[in-house]
Amino acid sequence: MKDDDYSKLLERYLSALEKGKEAYFDADEILYLLDCFEDDNDLVHYDGILEIGLKLHPTRDELRIKKCRSLIINEHYKEALALAENIQEKYNQELDIIRLECYFYLNDYETAYLYLEELVIDLSCTYIEELFEYFATFLNDLEMIDAAETLIQYGLLGFPDNIILNNELCYLYELKGDIEEAINVCNKIIDQNPYSYEFWFTLGRLYSLQSEYEKAIDAFDFACACDKPDTELLMSKAYCLFMNENYNKAIEIYNEFLPLTEESSHVRSLIAECYIKLEDFEHAYRLLKDIIQQENNAEANTYINCIRCCVETDREREASQLLLKATNLFPDNVRILSLLALTYLENGKEEMALSITDKIFKQLELIGNENADDCDKLLQKGQYFFMRGEFKKALKYYKKILKLNPKMPLMHFHMAMTYFSLGDIEQFNKHYRNISQKELAEYFKPGKPKDTQVTLFQEEKYIPIDKLSKEYLNNKTNNN
């Protein structure tokens, strides 16, 4: 947008500023300069030009509206609202947006909805749909979840097929953790836009959050049929293929992705994990060893997997060397400490193994308050303390999980077992009644691996520390 007129106007302003004077501009010249600044996101002289404009043309509504916007940017919401209320112009979309923004920023939702309702009723207002679209995105971006849901549902009453509103509703349900509803809305959008790469990708991502990997892969394939896949989709699809135990296909996708990323070591470590799942330990070993030799900051998991590959390929001495190196590099990593303790156990050094195991327990307690939004880690910690017989500590983590994700599978089962271990039969019955038959049938399906807590509960109420060490340390799913 910058042209000769812009350069001349800016030079006039800067020249006067250098001389300690104020140049004269008509209102249109001021507005033109401000629009140029906004388009280029160059706000160095914005406020100075705006103040000159307001001083020269104090009744020009376009300048007063820009002042409102400047006040909002600087979080002076009450001042912005007061100035907006003094502007009498009707049916000005930007002015209505400013007023509504101020109401929402000030948490005055009731006034915001009443103002919006007045505009809806007023048939002369022609931009109602655009207002709903703007504020659906605005409120979601600010994570004002309750306000966003009220506004979006209100907007959908009048505009049920609006793509932006439905897309924001889908995102809102995802924010709330209601993935099933997000999927339903996303499918509705796809019915209207069957060739949209974006919405098929979103659907695949949502299915992956539900661990419905087969459906996720299908959705990603539809997205690829609509447009050339980006790197995020390739990684998401490879992850789902891995989780769906289609390791060869996952390797193909990772190799396709490899030339497109600067994080090649991370992708190669993922390929190595696929080879480990295929029990091709030699191929995995070569990849992982190459990463460790080339990278100064290889991840802990790379060392752990390489150690395992060394053991599986009869490289015992190299495994020991890598374990010592990993212990020095990651002294607080629970998984590496577990491998070290297991090594001591296998070599008959039980006292040293128990010392390391005790350090693991303490480390788990130290990280107990971190990553509170990660339900899988919370579950692992809860199961760990259940194994130790510290049922009250286990219960603390299970309660956090239920609060974060009430629909997490088998949580009522874990709660029931823990209360039973504490002798609280009333709470046991309460949670046991909430376990669905479908969950139990799926869990006890023949051949399905069981989690440590339920296995131990079936065996005995509390296990001694030496048995606990072997049970926990041999579990290859444990991580930091």
Show the DSSP H helices in 367-410 as ranges. Answer: 375-388, 391-404
CB 267 within 8 A of CB 299: no
**What is the distance between the alpha carbons of residues 168 and 182, in angstroms, rounded to a whole number?**
10
CA–CA separation, 68 and 65 (whole Å) = 5
Among candidate residues 4, 74, 70, the one with its CA nearest the CA of residue 34: 70
List all residues 6 or more positions away from 87 whose beta carbon is below 8 Å from its beta carbon: 61, 64, 65, 68, 95
Band (453; pLDDT cuts 50, 70, 90): very low
Instruction: Please say whether the beta carbons of 53 and 25 come within 8 A.
Output: yes
Q: In this model, does residue 465 exceed pLDDT 70?
A: no
> Taking the model in full, what pTM does it have?
0.69
Reduce the DSSP state of residue 262 to 3 states and report it: coil
- Listed in sequence order, the residues at least 6 apart from 231 whose beta carbon sits closer than 8 Å to its beta carbon are 257, 260, 261
> What's the pLDDT score for residue 363?
67
- Average confidence (pLDDT) over 450-478: 44
Lookup: tokens for 4: 């000769």
Query: For the residues 18-45, what does the mean pLDDT come to?
Result: 89
**Number of residues in the chain:** 480
CB 312 within 8 A of CB 320: no
**Res. 43: pLDDT tops 60:** yes
Instruction: Give the pLDDT confidence of 202-246 residue by residue, as tens digits.
Output: 999 999 999 999 999 999 999 999 999 998 999 999 999 999 999
Give the whole-angstrom CA distance, residue 107 versus residue 70.
20
Which positions ≥6 away from 395 have C-beta within 8 Å? Answer: 382, 415, 418, 419, 422
- Token readout for 69 is 């916007």
Query: What percent of the chain clears pLDDT 90, i.e. is strictly above it?
Result: 52
Euclidean distance between CA atoms 46 and 37, whole angstroms: 7
Q: How many CA atoms lie within 13 A of 197 on its CB side?
A: 9
CA distance 326 to 319: 10
The 8-class DSSP code of residue 294 comes to H
Q: Where does the pLDDT of residue 272 fall: very low under 50, low under 70, confident under 90, or very high at 90 and above?
A: very high
Please give the angle made by the CA atoms of 297, 300 and 302, to the nearest 5 degrees: 85
Confidence of residue 467 (pLDDT cuts 50, 70, 90): very low
* Cα gap 480→470, rounded to integer Å: 17
Place of tokens 């070569």: 286
Query: CA-CA distance, 432 to 340, in Å (whole number)?
Result: 38
Task: Determine contact, residues 37/9, Cβ cutoff 8 Å.
Answer: no
Q: What are phi and psi of 264, to 5 degrees?
A: -65, -35
Q: Give Cα separations from 208 to 1, 219, 308, 475 (angstroms).
A: 44, 10, 28, 25
pLDDT value at residue 296: 79
Is it the case that residue 470 has pLDDT exceeding 90? Answer: no
Q: Which long-range contacts (CB under 8 A, 24 or more apart) does 84-90 make?
A: 87/61, 89/61
**Above 70 in pLDDT, residue 368?**
no
Q: Which two tokens stand for residue 122?
A: 């007023």
pLDDT at position 478: 46
List of domains in the chain: 369-473 (1.25.40)
Per-residue pLDDT, 371: 45
Q: Is 446 left (phi over 0), alpha (psi -120 to 50) or beta?
A: beta
Cα 436 to Cα 403, 408, 412, 454: the distances in Å are 19, 12, 9, 16
CA 225/CA 223 separation, integer angstroms: 5
pLDDT of residue 457: 38
* DSSP per-residue codes, 173-241: HHHHT-HHHHHHHHHHHHHH-TT-HHHHHHHHHHHHHTT-HHHHHHHHHHHHHHS---HHHHHHHHHHH
Six-digit token pair at 377? Answer: 């880690």
Residue 300: is its pLDDT beyond 80? yes
pLDDT of res. 315: 93
Query: What is the C-alpha separation between 323 and 312, in angstroms, rounded?
Result: 15
Query: Any idea which of 390-394, 452-456, 471-475 has the lowest mean pLDDT?
Result: 452-456
pLDDT value at 468 more than 70? no
CA distance 434 to 402: 12
Residue at token pair 């088998």: 410
Element (H or E) spanning 34, and its range?
A: helix 27-39
3 φ, ψ (degrees, to nearest 5): -145, -170
Least confidently predicted of 12-16, 168-172, 451-455:
451-455
Output the pLDDT for position 340: 82
* Tens-place pLDDT, residues 276-293: 999 999 999 999 999 999
pLDDT band at 477 (very low <50, low <70, confident <90, very high): very low
Determine contact, residues 154/144, Cβ cutoff 8 Å: no
